[in-house]
Amino acid sequence: MKVETLHSLIHFLVYRLFQIEYIDPHYVPPTGGCIIATNHLSRLDIPILFITPGRDYITALAADKYKKYFLFRWMLDAARVVWIDRANADFGAMRASVEYLRKEKVALGIAPEGTRSKGSLIEGKPGIVLIAEKAGVPIVPVGIAGTESGVRKMLTLRRAKITVRYGQPFTLLPMDRSDRAGWLKNCTDEIMCRIAALLPPIYRGFYAAHPHLKELLPVE
């Protein structure tokens, strides 16, 4: 299946099965390599981001456990995902992501949490920082709300309300080679707090009381 055909199919299904609202998708560059940093609530997150308005498509890192399911593998291969072994430090997938961003100029969705949270944010992992630093591309933070109940409501013939909110692109500070661990931690927190700022309070979880989140939120 061509990626354009898959895009049309998913677009058709998403808008009929869910009440979907994309807020400020113009922050995603229409062309060129970029990282879409998002929270991860559900398997619905990938198709929801895939059809982001204003971009041909957004691909993603996807756990290689889905390769054993024919339908998932077929669709994810068509979506041109980068397969990753989330159970181990998959440096091959990280290198592939960097090359993908540099050479093919894709928009690559990455969930820094590394797994589905099924609710509020959990602590982010630094892999996204290393990919962004080596690829030299901007990061667009995204906060998704509502996908965690999407399938359950769909099975009871209800349309879940799903909101996808995009933030302004940003770049990370250059690596501090004198304190690499501190740099990784600070950059990961920067990304996660920017995602948290785009989410309703009940989704902010691990970062709800982070001082930087308070700096990013609008003054009430």
| DSSP string computed for 31-88 | SS-EEEEE---STTHHHHHHT-TTSS--EEEEEGGGGGSHHHHHHHHHTTPEEE-TTS
The residues that bridge with 84 in the sheet, in sequence order, are 63
68-76: long-range contacts, CB 8 A cutoff, minimum separation 24: 74/1, 75/1, 75/6, 76/46
Q: Which two tokens stand for residue 129?
A: 């920082």
Question: Assign residue 98 a region: left if phi > 0, alpha if psi is -120 to 50, beta otherwise?
Answer: alpha
The helix (H) or strand (E) run that includes residue 20 is strand 19-23
Q: Taking the model in full, what pTM does it have?
A: 0.93
Per-residue pLDDT of the chain (220 residues; tens, 9 = 90+): 789 999 999 999 999 999 999 999 999 999 999 999 999 999 899 999 999 999 999 999 888 888 888 888 888 889 899 898 866 667 888 899 999 999 999 999 999 998 889 789 999 999 999 999 999 999 999 999 999 888 778 777 788 899 999 999 999 999 988 999 999 999 999 999 999 999 999 999 999 999 999 999 986 6
Q: What is the pLDDT of residue 65?
A: 84
* Lookup result for tokens 């593998």: 73
Question: What is the side-by-side strand order in the sheet with 139-145?
Answer: 19-23, 161-166, 139-145, 34-38, 107-110, 59-63, 82-84
CA distance 129 to 191: 9
List the domains of the chain with CATH numbers.
Answer: 3-15+28-215 (3.40.1010.10)
174 φ, ψ to 5°?
-55, 155
SS3 150: helix
CA distance 84 to 88: 9
SS3 89: coil
CA distance 193 to 204: 9
